[in-house]
């Protein structure tokens, strides 16, 4: 480094001004430029590192979002496949078979003179009344007393040729698929629809939702045993003694079916759910608006609704029977004859219990 000295003398004032200029030598200038270059290089490297790390973050974020979307699509696809399996293998066939069974029995009860007193009892009393035998004991007693009568033979043919094939298939579906394909309501949801007294099994006191189906399966096995006895000319039994909550079982099957259809529509936008929102009685013409499965269940068990429909359809069904020219088997029990004349008929509520979706 060198110093240049400049002096300026003023003759008037007699003063001298000195200016010192310091200049770096050749080596000092090079060191300063090198430092600037190194700083720029360091900044460039740091910028590259920051850019690289930011890009890595963006790539990881995009990959994470893609994985989440892939998992969601996979979950949706698997859920849709499971729902389709439910509908094709379990819930769909189960519902159609149950409705067919109900149609068979309701038709027989109507035209045999048995009537629907049990449905009225259920709606009025609930609780233990839900658990009942298929037929009144007084009604089938005459088949035991005279097993060769036309009515007794007709009843046994009904059971062996129409009822047994249906309940056998229902039993197989329940035993084979309920454990893996039934999305049962949780207990809190189930208890919102029924009280513990309603759903408690009279056989083992359990309130587990599966006991509804378990009891039905046991009922079918007892019917098979009775049918085998008939083959040996033993007619001392005409129906199982196991009581079943048929109405609750029907509503549980409807609940499973409706939920499966709603899930299918949720996972597949191309699926349209057909809902029977209007339930209409062919005898009374009265209609009931059903908004969802849970409301449907509650409305079915509304005693005031049942009473109203019962009063409306007494005369109308009697007229419908007369106009249709239907003939009915005479019932030896005088009480049942009175019920027939007085309109022991299925109201809108009873039809939903029996056969309607």
* Structural contact between residues 174 and 217, judged by C-beta atoms closer than 8 angstroms: yes
Q: Is residue 34 part of a domain?
A: no
Determine, yes or no, domain membership for 201. Answer: yes
User: pLDDT (tens digit, 9 = 90+) per residue, 9-65?
Assistant: 555 555 555 555 555 555 555 677 777 777 787 888 788 888 888 888 888 888 777
What's the CA gap between 67 and 313, in Å, rounded? 61
Q: Give a yes or no: residue 49 inside a domain.
A: no
In a domain, 47, yes or no: no
In a domain, 147, yes or no: yes
- Kindly report, residue by residue over 168-201, the tens digit of the pLDDT: 999 999 999 998 888 888 888 889 999 999 999 9
Domain limits for position 167: 79-354
Give the alpha-carbon dihedral of 29, 31, 33, 35, to 10 degrees.
-150
User: How many residues can be counted in the chain?
Assistant: 357
Per-residue model confidence as pLDDT tens digits over 225-277: 999 999 999 999 999 999 999 999 999 999 999 888 888 778 776 656 555 55
How confident is the model over 284-298, as a mean pLDDT? 45
CA 117 – CA 343 distance, rounded (Å): 10
pTM exceeds 0.85 for this model: no
Q: Is residue 125 part of a domain?
A: yes
C-alpha dihedral (230, 97, 252, 227), degrees to nearest 10: 10
Which residue(s) pair with 20 in the sheet?
A: 5
Q: Is residue 296 part of a domain?
A: yes
Other Cβ atoms less than 10 A from the Cβ of 306: the count is 21
Counted domains in the chain: 1
d(CA 273, CA 270): 10
Phi, psi for residue 184 in degrees, rounded to 5 = -65, 145
**Rounded Cα–Cα distance for residues 350 and 305 (Å):** 11
CA distances from 253 to 74, 202, 248, 268, 351 (A): 28, 21, 9, 23, 16
Q: Is 42 part of a structural domain of the chain?
A: no
Among the residue ranges 145-154, 206-215, 293-302, the one predicted with the least confidence is: 293-302
pLDDT at position 126 over 90: no
- What percent of the chain has a predicted confidence (pLDDT) above 70? 64
133 or 303, greater pLDDT: 133
């Amino acid at each position: 480094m060198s110093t240049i000295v400049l002096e300026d003398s003023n003759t008037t004032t007699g003063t001298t001004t000195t200016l010192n200029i310091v200049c770096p030598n050749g080596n000092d200038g090079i060191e300063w430029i090198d430092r600037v270059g190194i700083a720029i290089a360091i900044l460039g490297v740091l910028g590259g590192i920051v850019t690289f790390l930011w890009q890595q973050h963006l790539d990881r974020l995009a990959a994470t979002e893609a994985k989440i979307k892939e998992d969601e699509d996979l979950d949706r696809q698997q859920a849709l496949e499971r729902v389709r399996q439910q509908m094709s293998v379990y819930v769909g066939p189960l519902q159609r078979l149950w409705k067919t069974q109900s149609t068979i029995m309701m038709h027989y009860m109507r035209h045999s003179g048995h009537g629907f007193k049990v449905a009225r009892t259920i709606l009025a009393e609930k609780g233990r009344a839900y658990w009942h035998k298929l037929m009144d004991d007084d009604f089938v007693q005459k088949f035991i007393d005279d097993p060769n009568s036309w009515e007794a033979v007709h009843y046994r043919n009904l059971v062996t040729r129409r009822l047994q094939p249906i309940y056998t298939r229902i039993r197989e579906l329940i035993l084979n698929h309920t454990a893996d394909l039934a999305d049962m309501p949780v207990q809190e949801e189930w208890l919102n629809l029924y009280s513990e007294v309603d759903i408690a099994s009279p056989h083992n006191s359990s309130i587990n939702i599966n006991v509804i189906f378990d009891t039905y399966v046991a009922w079918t096995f007892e019917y098979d045993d009775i049918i085998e006895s008939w083959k040996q000319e033993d007619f001392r039994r005409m129906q199982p003694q196991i009581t079943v909550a048929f109405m609750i079982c029907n509503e549980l099957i409807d609940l499973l079916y409706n939920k499966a259809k709603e899930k299918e529509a949720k996972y597949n936008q191309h699926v349209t759910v057909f809902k029977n929102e209007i339930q209409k009685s062919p005898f009374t013409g009265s209609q009931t608006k059903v908004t969802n499965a849970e409301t449907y269940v509650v409305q079915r068990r509304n005693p005031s609704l049942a009473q109203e429909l019962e009063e409306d359809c007494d005369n109308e069904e009697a007229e419908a029977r007369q106009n249709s020219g239907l003939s009915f088997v005479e019932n030896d029990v005088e009480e049942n004859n009175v019920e027939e004349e007085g309109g022991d008929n299925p109201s809108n509520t009873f039809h939903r219990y029996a056969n309607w979706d």
